[in-house]
Structure 1
Amino acid sequence: MMNDSLVAYSTDVEKAEFYKKTYLHVALAIVAFIAVETILLNVVPAEMIYMMVGQRYSWLLVLGIFWLASFLATKWSLAQSRSTQYFGLGVYVLLQAVIFLPMMYIAMAYTGGGEVIFQAATLTVAMFSGISYIAFTSKKDFSFLRNIIAIGGFIALGLIVAGMIFGFNLGLWFSVGMVILASATILYQTSKLKDAYSTDQYVGASLQLFASIMLLFWYILRILMSRRS
């Protein structure tokens, strides 16, 4: 990528337009996720939802498909074609809705219905806003977080897979650790937006932020659900 196409080397007007479009697309992705999730909760039979997590290896298969499809969606969201970029973002929103389906169903059915989901969403938005403010206003270099996030991600993935294979519960402290990891990822991604993307890659940038927001929301919701169970 040529330096003069990066956000960091753009004019203030171009930077402002990039950030505006990026966060607008994040908001639209969240709205689309809510709409798709609502539809799935109303049309997918409970038996099928339970099948996703009922068998030890069924959820592992679902996560494997999610990882592969997420990789493709991310690649598409950074393509030259604008239609391909939107297709990648749309696919990723759909994937997130499918992955969230069992947890949202359980939250609606057994843990206070929409109340716990609303609380988790409120906390997620508040944390995302606070982290974004720090990233934009602080002059600190957050590049050191990159290796921490990478190592933490591999460790977390290994523990998740091991937990599914051997059937042990990772517990509350794992969820707390994942909230910290997701927060660090948002901080790093936000601080590096100007260095990682060109001014026309706001769709790809929004997908990365959306992914981290959903990871944060997932584990905040798990924590709140565990307190009510």
Structure 2
Amino acid sequence: MEEFQQVLPVSSLSDEKRVAFYKKTYTHLAMAVLLFVIVEWFFFQVDAIVEFAFSMTQGFRWLMMLGGFMLATSFAEKMAFKNHNINQQYLGLLLYVIAEAFIFIPLIKIAMMIAESGGENILYQAAILTLSLFTGLSAIVLITKKDFSFLKSALAIGFFIALGLIVGGMIFGFNLGLWFSAGMVVLASGSILYQTSNMVHKYAEDQYVGASLGLFASLMLLFWYILSILMRLSGD
């Protein structure tokens, strides 16, 4: 994700304004998570949407779905990060939440089926683990004020390799396995450190919506792979 080059970043503001920015950012993050739950609930009320989402997980359709997701989220990020129009920023965040909710349909449906068949409620477990890890990682940055911008290159390389492995797995039919999911949890954790560091050191005072989008993206990536790990373990 790209950051604005601002003359007056949040880190140079008074303590009062800086705290106000943090509150706005995390409030919008909480709103994004709540909206995700609401949109996901709505999707599951429409069988045609659920069936379509599942149909897109078959073969090369999954690559098309991933491609569409990446285009939608990239467009949403540009709306939230590259202009100072608050309405455009909100629209970008909304689009990102809807895209996340749609791509999560198959994973959440399978988790629900596991619970309905007598298995553990891994959705609840994944949510608790995700929020706990997210809170701990965020606290590290907020307490130490350490700048984790040095992670940018490593994260970019990591995500590029992960995408290559996902595409390779689809083309050649190999299973990425538990270790890939574990590696993605590490990558998502690094992304949380990076995005939280950006919130502290990089963003301008009016970029709280964009800051919340960056944190939301990292949070959902972490949730996806923690849930994936629990689903694999429940199937063993």
Q: 2:127 aligns with which of 118, 121, 127?
A: 121
Q: Which runs of 5+ in 1 are unaligned?
A: none
8 Å CA contact 1:111, 1:225 repeated in 2: no
Measured at CA, do residues 134 and 210 of structure 1 come closer, stay the same or move farther in structure 2, by a change above 3 Å? same
**Identity over the aligned pairs, expressed in percent?**
51
1:130 matched to 2:128: no
Name the aligned partner's letter for residue 223 of structure 2. Answer: F
Task: Give the whole-Å Cα distance in 1 for the aligned partners of 2:185 and 2:25.
Answer: 23
Q: What is the alpha-carbon distance in structure 1 between the residues aligned to residue 53 and residue 74 of structure 2?
A: 24
Instruction: Give the match's secondary structure for 1:192.
Output: helix
Which consecutive segments of 4 or more residues in structure 1 shift more than 4 A? 111-114
Q: Give the structure with the larger helix fraction.
A: 1
Q: 1:85 maps to what in 2?
A: 89
Match of 1:156 among 153, 157, 162: 162
TM-score normalised by length of structure 2: 0.91
Looking at structure 2, the residues matched to 137 and 227 of structure 1 have their Cα atoms a distance apart, in angstroms, of 34
**Match in the other structure for 2:25:** 22
- Counterparts of 1:1-229 in structure 2, within 5 Å, are 1-4=5-8, 6-45=9-48, 46-54=50-58, 56-78=59-81, 79-111=83-115, 115-229=121-235
For residues 134-161 of structure 1, give each alpha carbon's deviation from its aligned partner in whole angstroms, at most 9, with x where no partner exists: 1111254423322221111111111011
CA-based RMSD of the aligned residues comes to 1.5
Give, in whole Å, the separation in 1 of the partners of 2:97 and 2:85. Answer: 19
Distance 1:114 1:94, change over 3 A: farther
Structure 1 position 11, deviation (Å): 1.3
Note the C-alpha offset of 1:38: 1.1
1:88–1:140 distance in 2 versus 1, CA, 3 Å = closer
Distance change >3 Å, CA 139–CA 96, structure 1 → 2: closer
Letter in 2 for 1:11: S
Counterpart Cα distance in 1 of 2:120 and 2:86:
36
For residues 131 and 104 of structure 1, the distance between their equivalents in structure 2, rounded to whole angstroms, comes to: 25
Unmatched runs of 5 consecutive residues or more in structure 2: none
Letter in 2 for 1:153: F
Question: What letter is aligned with 1:62?
Answer: M
Q: Give 1:82 shift.
A: 1.1
